Amino acid sequence: MDIQITEQIIIMLAALVLLTAFAMLVQRKIYGLISLFMWQGIFLALTTAFVGYIAHRYHLYISAVLTLLLKVILLPYILRMLIIKLKISREVESVVNVTSTMLIGIALVIFSYQLTAPIRQNSAFVAQSIIAIALATVMIGLLMMITRRNAVTQIIGFLAMENGLFFAAISATYGMPLVVELGVAIDILIAAFVFGIFSLHINTTFDSLDVDKMAQLKEDY
Amino acid sequence: MTFYPLDLAAIGLGIIFFLVIFAFIFNKKEKFILNFSFSVMTLVGLLAVVAGIWVVYDASAYIMIFNLGLPELPFHFRLDPLSGFFLATIGLLVLYISIYSLGYVRAFLGHKSIARFIIFYCLFIAGMFMVVLADDALFFLIAWELMAVASYFLVIYEDEKVDSKKAALLYLVMAHIGAISILLSFGVLAGAVGGDMGFGSYTFDAMRSANFPAAWAGVAFFLAFFGFSIKAGVIPVHVWLPEAHPVAPSNISALMSGVMLKTAMYGIIRIAFDIIGVFPWWWGAIVLAFGLLSAVFGVLNALMQNDLKKLLAYSSIENIGIILIGIGLSMMFTSFNMPVIAALALTAACYHILNHAMFKGLLFMGAGAILQTTNEQNMEKMGGLIHLMPWTAFLFLVGCVSISALPPFNGFASEWLTFQAFLLSPVVPTPIVKLIMPIGAVLLALTSALAAATFVKAFGVTFLGRWRGKVVPKNREVGWSMRIGMILAAFTCFLLGVLPTFVINMLGNVSNQLVSASINTNMDKYNWLWVTPIVAQRASYSGTIFFVSIALIILATFFIFRLKRGAVTRCNVWDCGFGGLTPRMQYSATSFAMPLRRIFGGVFSISEHVRLKYRLRVNDRFVNIIYKPIVRLSYFISRQVGRLQQGRINEYLIYSFVTIIILLTFLK
């Protein structure tokens, strides 16, 4: 394949990753959120594979397959199970102030571009704007955790943040060594399990998954 | 002796001052001076248009020195393409408004002094002409003050109204704050010229040739920008405008909104491009930011108004915003040394100045016609006027379509050019500018859409439906002179929209003078049909073809559906089986704006009062003085500390988020 076309494909995939991040920011239905997360995973895996192709780093293919297995199949499966256990599959979360959340998201994207400008100039990587998109994805994930109240949604926000970090790693340095990546992947898996168990406990204790309810734990002054 | 355009303008000014004296002498023969003065003012308007267009085509500058004023500093006149363009715009509106006034002012006969109106009307127009002709700081400020004071007396003309007095006072105070700021700006510029020129440094010629230190130039520009912004009604110094426009007589509102605000735009363009000439890009960015602010907030406020003239006043703020966007973009592109795109933005701004003068003049004339027929300014009490005054309704609709920037009328052509300038912004070398500019384009798009909503409301509530007031007005359509004034303005709106290439070609000389580039307009055989700002592959627009196709579609629809026998049946309005509908049950102006009031609720300060309450409490004074404050203070401090620890996960996340952002910003 032509280098230039591959480059264009990578840029487009990066744009799609950012798009899914924005979509997740305002998606209210929990199933929709999980499928958006899945799509993000797919785009991520594809980008990884293409970057591997263009940079001739073939261990990135393994990363891509790993991403596909973990983020497209396994994690969504765990999350779905969790939702079924918690009986919240039909819940629609109220998202406050969609407009301003989106505007903050846009501001974050601009901020990331501005921030990464010096790095992008020095980077030899073909598609330099990916670094900015990766940083923006991380921040949007964090923003999602801030704006949401449901514990499960917060888990997804955290996972989206991790997607952004992974993306940054690929784009800035052609991926971390395979050992590190494997470690991170397992970490994520375990984190998902721990989160799941915690959510179950939160649900039994407070009879709700709203993290605002946890403010009750605080003593009144 | 050869005859120059400037002589024409000077003759026009002479006629105006003659009229002032004439009206002063014959102030008892009211009917005569009314007809005479406004007829002659029509001629003066025509003279100004001819002089303006002449000099714009000629593309050269004419200078004249008139020995009046200070001994060291006589009045300098100068007519170049920029002032010629403004002269023509003012003259054109004066021409239409004077025809309109022949009928409109007649309503004041008998109970108000006509001579007073005419004297200030003439002085006001003379002031505007002189502002654009002035070529030294002193003469400019004298003209500026003449314009401000004369318009003050016109705003207060119906002085029996309390509102008029309040609004006029506010206007006068604001106008003078602005004038002081402009005066200071000229002072700074003249001081920076330096040398032993004495009073000579106050001429614009001396300022043009001087090299200003960057800091002083900045001070001068922003002082002038502040002063002119007050006159133009740029948000947040706009407060006088929505007060003064509704209380002034409608022909005066039309002039104030249509052309007086534009003299401020003239001042900004003159000082930035002509006198200072070299500036950093962020000046343009600030002008652009205020333009966007005015455009968005102006249109949002316009949408909320129920007073027809107040709605138009806020819409003027919006349009001033759009013009400032053009000027700001042009300044930015100029400082990045991209003359062609700068010319595009400047042309868009100038084109919009001309267009806004036409359609806002038309709309205010329409509002005046409504006011005279119904004695009503509140839209909540109007309705169904299309049956009473079909001419006004149609002409007002033309104004609404133009101002909503719908093709093929003129508003579209200039806003389209502004958008083109915005869409070319990615060529700017500074990355942060490149990233923020699209947001500006989005805001401009939002403004256009909201403007359309505003004028759907203005037209729909006023002319459609049924009369909402108690007594249906007995008067019918207004007289012919008023109608002709409006028809001419509406026709100009149409021509400016259908034949944009000619206007742009003319404006090319203005942009050549200021940014030494122009949009190339190809006036060959068929190419005059198409406006192509940069290259045809990118974007082009043809008002003529658009108009022809729209007209064909409408005609075809008409023939197919309306000419069929029995295609239209008239029957009673369906009342949902409820029975007994009254006009008060109609969709009203307030209810039309409600969805948008909800969406943009945060923008306004809305207060809804339902009822009053009486409360009585008697407290111990010592407790209040000594103990309460201490208690309150300690509570206050502990609450502030406690606020950090609310126990909400989301807030803790915000802390880390903000920390990350701050660290990234400052420690990169």
B214-223: pLDDT as tens digits: 888 999 999 9
For residue B563, what pLDDT is reported?
75
Question: Do residues B319 and B504 touch, judged by C-beta distance below 8 A?
Answer: no
Residue of chain A whose alpha carbon sits nearest to that of B642:
A221
For residue B616, what pLDDT is reported?
65
ipTM of the complex: 0.72
Residue of chain A whose alpha carbon sits nearest to that of B435:
A110
Q: What is the mean pLDDT of residues A67-74?
A: 87
Q: Cβ neighbours of residue B184 under 8 Å, at least 6 residues apart? A: B223
Question: B630 to chain A, minimum CA–CA distance in Å?
Answer: 18
Query: CA-to-CA distance for A42 and B140, rounded, in angstroms?
Result: 67
Residue of chain A whose alpha carbon sits nearest to that of B635:
A221
Is the Cβ of B654 closer than 8 Å to some Cβ of chain A?
Answer: yes
Q: Do B647 and A113 touch (CB under 8 A)?
A: no
pLDDT bin (cut points 50, 70, 90) of residue B439 is confident
Q: Do A214 and B648 touch (CB under 8 A)?
A: yes
For residue B623, what pLDDT is reported?
65
Q: What is the mean pLDDT of residues A112-130?
A: 72
For residue B304, what pLDDT is reported?
86
Q: What is the pLDDT of residues B65-77, one digit of tens each?
A: 888 777 778 888 9
Q: Taking CB atoms and an 8 Å cut-off, how many pairs form between chains A and B?
A: 53
- Give B472's DSSP letter: -
Tokens of A205: 């204790």
Q: Do A218 and B646 touch (CB under 8 A)?
A: yes
Tokens of B244: 């003064």
**Is it the case that residue B17 has pLDDT exceeding 80?**
yes
Query: CA-to-CA distance for A41 and B314, rounded, in angstroms?
Result: 49
Residues 431-470 of B with CB under 8 A from A: 431-432, 435-436, 439
Question: Do residues B398 and B488 touch, judged by C-beta distance below 8 A?
Answer: no
In three-state secondary structure terms, B349 is helix
Residue of chain B whose alpha carbon sits nearest to that of A215:
B647
For residue B619, what pLDDT is reported?
61
In three-state secondary structure terms, B172 is helix
Query: CA-to-CA distance for B200 and B210, rounded, in angstroms?
Result: 12
Report chain B residues whose CB lies below 8 A from the CB of A113. 431, 435
Q: Do B650 and A221 touch (CB under 8 A)?
A: no
**Is it the case that residue B200 has pLDDT exceeding 90?**
no
CB count, 10 Å around CB of A115? 19
pLDDT bin (cut points 50, 70, 90) of residue A60 is confident
Cα angle at B335 between B333 and B337, to 5 degrees?
70
Report the number of distinct structural domains present in chain A. Answer: 1
Interface test with A, best of B296, B436, B656, B668 (most A CBs within 10 A): B668
pLDDT bin (cut points 50, 70, 90) of residue A11 is confident
Residues 24-63 of B with CB under 8 A from A: none
Is the Cβ of B169 closer than 8 Å to some Cβ of chain A?
Answer: no
Q: What is the pLDDT of residues B104-133, one digit of tens each?
A: 998 888 888 888 999 999 999 999 999 999
pLDDT bin (cut points 50, 70, 90) of residue B196 is low
Residue of chain B whose alpha carbon sits nearest to that of A158:
B653
Nearest to A211 among B432, B435, B649 (CB): B649
For residue B92, what pLDDT is reported?
94
For residue B59, what pLDDT is reported?
82
Q: What is the pLDDT of residues B318-364, one digit of tens each?
A: 999 999 999 999 999 999 888 888 999 999 999 999 999 999 999 99
Query: CA-to-CA distance for B363 and B3, rounded, in angstroms?
Result: 37
Taking all residues of chain A, what is their mean pLDDT, rounded to a whole number?
82
As a whole-number percent, the residues of chain A with pLDDT over 70 amount to 89
Question: B664 to chain A, minimum CA–CA distance in Å?
Answer: 8
Interface test with B, best of A114, A122, A153 (most B CBs within 10 A): A114
Between B527 and A8, whose confidence is greater? A8
**Is it the case that residue B180 has pLDDT exceeding 90?**
yes
Report chain A residues whose CB lies below 8 A from the CB of B645. 218
Interface test with B, best of A98, A122, A142 (most B CBs within 10 A): A142
Taking all residues of chain B, what is their mean pLDDT, rounded to a whole number?
86
As a whole-number percent, the residues of chain B with pLDDT over 70 amount to 94
Q: Do B649 and A154 touch (CB under 8 A)?
A: yes
pLDDT bin (cut points 50, 70, 90) of residue B537 is low
Between B552 and B517, whose confidence is greater? B552
Of B129-138, B198-207, B370-379, B411-420, least confident by mean pLDDT is B198-207
**Is it the case that residue A119 has pLDDT exceeding 70?**
yes
Q: What is the mean pLDDT of residues A73-102?
A: 80
Among chain A, residues having any CB pair with chain B shorter than 8 Å are 106, 110-111, 113-115, 117-118, 139, 142-143, 145-149, 154, 211-212, 214-218, 221
As a whole-number percent, the residues of chain B with pLDDT over 90 amount to 39
Between A219 and B7, whose confidence is greater? B7
For residue B590, what pLDDT is reported?
83
Of A200-204, B200-204, B579-583, B622-626, least confident by mean pLDDT is B622-626
Between B628 and B526, whose confidence is greater? B628
Q: Which domain holds residue A7?
A: 3-217
Q: Domain ranges in chain B?
A: 621-666
Is the Cβ of B665 closer than 8 Å to some Cβ of chain A?
Answer: yes
Q: What DSSP line would sit under B34-95, residue for residue? A: HHHHHHHHHHHHHHHHHHHHHHHHHT--EEEEEEEE-SSSEEEEEE-HHHHHHHHHHHHHHH
User: What are the φ and ψ backbone dihedral angles of A124, each rounded to 5 degrees?
Assistant: -90, -5
Residue of chain A whose alpha carbon sits nearest to that of B664:
A115
Q: What is the mean pLDDT of residues B486-496?
A: 93
For residue B195, what pLDDT is reported?
66
**Is it the case that residue B528 has pLDDT exceeding 80?**
no
**Is it the case that residue B553 has pLDDT exceeding 80?**
yes
Residue of chain B whose alpha carbon sits nearest to that of A107:
B436
Q: Do A142 and B657 touch (CB under 8 A)?
A: yes
Report chain B residues whose CB lies below 8 A from the CB of A211. 648-650
Nearest to A117 among B431, B638, B660 (CB): B431
Nearest to B647 among A145, A146, A215 (CB): A215
Report chain A residues whose CB lies below 8 A from the CB of B640. none
Nearest to B431 among A114, A142, A212 (CB): A114
Q: Do A145 and B664 touch (CB under 8 A)?
A: no
**Is it the case that residue B523 has pLDDT exceeding 60?**
no
Q: Do A212 and B648 touch (CB under 8 A)?
A: yes
CB count, 10 Å around CB of A37? 24
Interface test with B, best of A145, A147, A149, A217 (most B CBs within 10 A): A145
Query: CA-to-CA distance for B6 and B38, rounded, in angstroms?
Result: 23
Nearest to B664 among A115, A117, A214 (CB): A115
Q: What is the mean pLDDT of residues B635-647?
A: 80
Between B610 and B468, whose confidence is greater? B468
Report chain A residues whose CB lies below 8 A from the CB of B642. 221
Question: B653 to chain A, minimum CA–CA distance in Å?
Answer: 6
Q: Do A211 and B648 touch (CB under 8 A)?
A: yes
Which residue, B398, B374, B355, is CA-closest to B486?
A: B398
Query: CA-to-CA distance for B608 and B611, rounded, in angstroms?
Result: 10
CA B70 to chain centre: 34
